[in-house]
Amino acid sequence: MSNDLGEISTSRMAPPEMGEPYLLTPGPLTTASEVKHAMLKDWGSWDGDFREMTADMCRRLLDIAGDKNGEFVCVPMQGSGTFSVEAMLGSFLPKDSKTLVLMNGAYGKRTAETLSYLDRDFVVLDKGDYMPPRGDEVSRLLDDDPTISHVIVVHCETSSGILNPVQEISDAVYAAGRKLLVDSMSAFGALPLDVNVIQYEAMVSSANKCIEGVPGFGFVIARKSEVEAAKGRSHSLSLDVHSQWVNFEKSGQWRFTPPTHVVAAFMEALKMHEAEGGAQGRLARYVRNRDVMVSGMRELGFETLLKDRWLSPIIVTFFNPAHPNFTFDGFYELMKKRGFIIYPGKLTVVDSFRIGCIGRMDEYVMTEVVEAAAQALREMNVESGNPPESALIERAKLAA
């Protein structure tokens, strides 16, 4: 964890609307009331105002990605984030490509599954539930197999919360003359993925993660030359990034019915993102959220799955306490009663739960989360959050 907590904000953020719990889940997440209120208006998808809004949205997203020379384009895509991942894969991976999938959790698995559907050749580096794929491993695999043309990595693997080392992976991929695609769904807008710093061909994210919009669409940010080369390649009519882009270029319109209210809400979210200091400001808040929450939970005896180095400021996995009175369902309900929706774990080997750090909330809220967890443990007659020995043995396997 960072020791530099930045400036501590002096005013707390407004809570969600009356009676709504905080969503400590990595999307859908708690949104600002300004974002919700932006949806109270109908927009004609065809109308110039909405077309201008879409264009403005894309410019702002390219700004966040650091594109200065118009080398990249932004192509929004209807649907949840997975639709955009599938659109990216189907559009940028040639039919005769072979992809190395870096897998360490559910989203890496989903990528491999998608490639099977798309009938694209791939190999997998499977690191299990939460080990990070490292640059030198990627180099070795690429050296051993010159037929691999592409690599795909998940930026923050939301299933464990691990922050994968995209910079060293990108360096390894381009040193070997291959191409990188990034699933930055739960990271973009907070964690840096600047095109001038980290080389990649395309990345995807969606409306309801770090930009703090509501769900309904995703977006692909890709090198323009890759989008141009994708003509006629997609397996899917609706998920064809090239066709979608051509339509935006030609008419400023989405090809099929856009989620107008969601886009309007997202514009508000983007303005608030900018007002907070862009990705840097947002990251600072998420880091404080994580640090306050993790240190409080550790004081209660809870242990994180990951060592500090790999702990993302997006979502954190904790082991379930060893105490026989503890059940996740009981804990969940007691947290909900106090206004916090937490997330079950997604590990195969040990029982765990997750607490998200993203969404419209600050360190004051995180202090209340810890207090609620303390009360929930008391109510369950669980003296401490200490995990079982087996969990700690499992964690010890995690590379330094």
Chain contacts with ligand PLP (rule: CB under 6 A): 26-27, 80-82, 85, 107, 154, 158, 183, 185-186, 206
Q: Write down the least CB distance from residue 325 to ligand PLP, Å.
A: 32
Q: What is the dihedral of CA 140, 145, 148, 151, to 10 degrees?
A: -20
Q: Write down the least CB distance from residue 326 to ligand PLP, Å.
A: 27
Return the axis-axis angle of helices 241-251 and 48-64, rounded to nearest 10°.
120
171 in Cβ contact with 137 (< 8 Å): no
Q: Write down the least CB distance from residue 89 to ligand PLP, Å.
A: 12
Reference 385, options 355, 363, 347; nearest CA is 355
- Three-state secondary-structure class, residue 331: helix
Nearer Cβ to ligand PLP (207/382):
207
Nearer Cβ to ligand PLP (198/300):
198
Q: Write down the least CB distance from residue 380 to ligand PLP, Å.
A: 30
Task: Please state, in angstroms and rounded to a whole number, the distance separating the CA atoms of residues 310 and 331.
Answer: 26
Q: Six-digit token pair at 11?
A: 């005013």
Task: Please state, in angstroms and rounded to a whole number, the distance separating the CA atoms of residues 199 and 9.
Answer: 34
Q: Write down the least CB distance from residue 324 to ligand PLP, Å.
A: 33
Separate counts of helices (H) and strands (E) for the chain: 13, 14
Q: What is the residue whose two structure tokens read 């118009």?
A: 70
Q: Write down the least CB distance from residue 204 to ligand PLP, Å.
A: 8
Reference 365, options 39, 34, 20, 37; nearest CA is 20
Nearer Cβ to ligand PLP (158/234):
158
Q: Write down the least CB distance from residue 8 to ligand PLP, Å.
A: 28
Nearer Cβ to ligand PLP (170/334):
170
Q: Give the residue at shortest CB distance from ligand PLP.
A: 81
Q: What is the residue whose two structure tokens read 């040639």?
A: 94
Q: Write down the least CB distance from residue 145 to ligand PLP, Å.
A: 25
- Three-state secondary-structure class, residue 369: helix
Nearer Cβ to ligand PLP (79/388):
79
DSSP H or E segment with residue 205 = strand 202-206
Nearer Cβ to ligand PLP (206/304):
206
CA distances from 187 to 154, 157, 253, 279, 314 (A): 9, 9, 27, 10, 7
Nearer Cβ to ligand PLP (109/255):
109
Q: Write down the least CB distance from residue 65 to ligand PLP, Å.
A: 17
Task: Write a three-state SS string for 98-153.
Answer: EEEEEECCHHHHHHHHHHHHHCCEEEEEECCCCCCCCHHHHHHHHHHCCCCCEEEE
Nearer Cβ to ligand PLP (82/236):
82
In sequence order, what are the beta bridge partners of 204?
Answer: 183, 220
Nearer Cβ to ligand PLP (156/173):
156
